[in-house]
Structure formats: C-alpha cells, structure tokens
Structure 1
Amino acid sequence: MQYIQKGFTLIELMIVVAIIGILAAVAIPSYQDYTKKAKFSEVLSISDSYKQAVALCHADLNTFTGCNAGTQGIPATPTVATTGLATGGTVTNGVITFTGTAAAGGYTFVLTPTLNAQGTAITWAQTGTCLGVKYCK
C-alpha cells in the first residue's frame, strides 16, 4: 500500500513559526522608528511655515533682531493642544526652534537665518538633535 503525505509535520511548522518570529523581531523596531520619523515631519512642517514670516519681518526691519513670535507679523507659536506632535516652539530674533513630543521622538529642530554676501537672499541653517538621527534634512 502506498502512503501519501497529507499536511505538514510538526518540525516543518515549528521552522515556519521560528522564521516568522525572526522576521517580526527585525521588522517591528524598524517600523516604530519609521512611524516616529513620520510624526516628526509635522514638527518640520510647522517650523518651515514660519520661514516666510521671518523673511517678511527682516524685509520690514532690515535686521533679524526683533523678529519674534507674536510680533512683527510673525504668528504666535502653537500650543501642544493645537499640534499634538510638537511640544511647542519659539521664534526669537529670527531663529525658529521646535521640539517634538515623545511620540515624535522628542528631537529638536532649529532654523537659523543668515543673509548671503550680497544681502539679497536668506539662507537657513538647520541644526538640532534631529540631524543626528536623520529625522530632518
């Protein structure tokens, strides 16, 4: 009589479960980091929206001194309840600083304006703790 195998053996099933476990152990931390990076993008977009207001303030005053949040046409910085992923931010003398919540990694993003040599264009230097983990450019 000829025996035909139907189904998988226990060892084959255990090997499949082990492989899935290894893949999950590698994928889940990467996914969590990716979601934090995506959440931090809200912090980046909020801080980037202040660049135009600071540029207009500089055009009016011909200096970055006095270009602060809530003055000279620069909007007041949002609160945590408004954004959800930024713990808040500041704009002081044209320097824009925002920090993400723990859900967004808790990193800081700073934009510092400088004029080019001709005094006709503003360049923005990016600094902060987000650079080390590559959450910002």
Structure 2
Amino acid sequence: MLNRLMKKKGGFTLIELMIVVAIIGILAAIAIPNFIRFQAKSKQSEAKTNLKAIFTAQKAYFGEKDKYVSDFKVVGFDPEPGNRYTYGIAACASVAQAVNARTYTAGCIGQDQARFTQVPTGGPALTPGITGTCPNCSFNASATGNVDNDPEGDTWAITSIATVSTNLTGTCGVDSTSVSGGEPGNAYNDVSCP
C-alpha cells in the first residue's frame, strides 16, 4: 500500500498547463501595451521640464533687459546630454546633433545624436520665435522629439503671453486648443496617436 502511494506522484495535466499558458498570454497582451504607453508618457516629462526652464530663463532675462532673445547661451539654457527632443526659440527643424556641435546662438538645440539618431517628423505647435517690439514682445518655444520610435514626433510648445489661441483642432492627441503662458501645451501627442 505504501508502495502504491509513493508511485502516484502528483503532476500537471496538459490541459492545466495550457490554461496557465493562456492566462499568462492574456495578461501579457494587456500589460505590455500599457507598460509601453506609460513608459512613453514618462519620456514626455523631458519636454515639459525643459520648456518650463526655457520659459523661466527667458522671463528672468526679460526682467533684467526688457527683451527676449533667441540665443540659448545668453539666457543660460543648456539641456543635459542625452536629450531626446529638439528645442527651438527660433524657427528650426528637428535635427540630431552631437552635444559639442549644438547651435545655441541660432535658437535651436537638436536632440543628442549619440543616443537618438532617428529624427522625428512633425512641426512645432506654435511658430517659435520672438514676436513684437520689446518691451511689448512675446516669445514662443517648441520641443519636438520621438517617444515611441515611429516617424512622427511628439510636439510641445510654450509661450510667454497669457493665452494664445492656436489652431490645434483636428490634430491627433491634442490636449487643448490654447496654450497658456508658462504652461507647455501638446500639439501632437505621440503617445496616444497610432
């Protein structure tokens, strides 16, 4: 009798194993896309943080000199190496640049080509640059980068004036149709667009 109990060792049947594999597959099908989306959303924080830094630097410069400038060196903006976004306070295209070849004076800083070689397509939410005659002038800054490795670029903008109505309707992933002064607005959300 003891022999018979010892021989009957428990195990899983093929059906039980297939059910477990199916459950794991369903969980992976739900979890992996959500994980990728949340990872891409966290990458957008670089653009928001750096655009707010540009805004703060420009406002501080304006407080001293009564004007805005399109030279990143003058206002003291220099993003860390490894930036995935191209930043502009002048009209510029999305480019990848070596960190030591950044064009601060032109009002454009390209994404770090050592880490991000695929240049995204897509234009800025607002035309970057300085408008008006200072001290009654304003500025717009933009950021375009790729957060999910497709050709389209995640596009953000910030402006110095209280509220700027922008034509963002009909664009995929728009979070609003107007951008408030000092708050980054998303013109093309690369996370929520296919």
TM-score, scaled to structure 2? 0.51
Which segment drifts farther, 42-51 or 16-25?
42-51
2:132 corresponds to 1:74: no
For 2:183 and 2:49, the matched residues in 1 are separated by: 16
Structure 2: distance between partners of 1:101 and 1:131: 10
Q: Where does residue 186 of structure 2 map in the other structure?
A: 128
User: Cα offset for 1:103?
Assistant: 4.1
Give the aligned CA root-mean-square deviation in angstroms. 3.3
- Structure-1 separation of matches of 2:149 and 2:53: 18
Cα distance 1:42–1:115, how it changes in 2: closer, same or farther (>3 A)? closer
After superposition, where does 1:14-33 map in structure 2 within 5 Å?
14-33=18-37
Q: Distance between the aligned counterparts of 1:55 and 1:17, measured in 2? A: 57
- Specify the alignment match of 1:97 in structure 2: 142
Partner of residue 50 from structure 1, selected from 38, 49, 54: 54
C-alpha distance in 2 between matches for 1:130 and 1:43: 13
Is 1:108 paired with 2:155?
Answer: yes
Change in Cα spacing, 1:70 to 1:100, as seen in structure 2 (3 Å) is same
| TM-score, with structure 1 as normaliser | 0.69
Name the CA shift for 1:85/1:104 in 2 (closer, same or farther; >3 Å).
Answer: farther
Q: Percent identity?
A: 28
Unaligned stretches of 5+ in structure 1?
A: 117-121
Structure 1 residues 93-117: Cα deviation after superposition (integer angstroms, max 9, x where no partner): 221211122547721111111259x
Q: Structure 2: how far apart are the matches of 1:130 and 1:7? A: 54
Please, which runs of 5 or more residues in structure 2 have no aligned partner?
Answer: 90-128, 131-138, 164-179
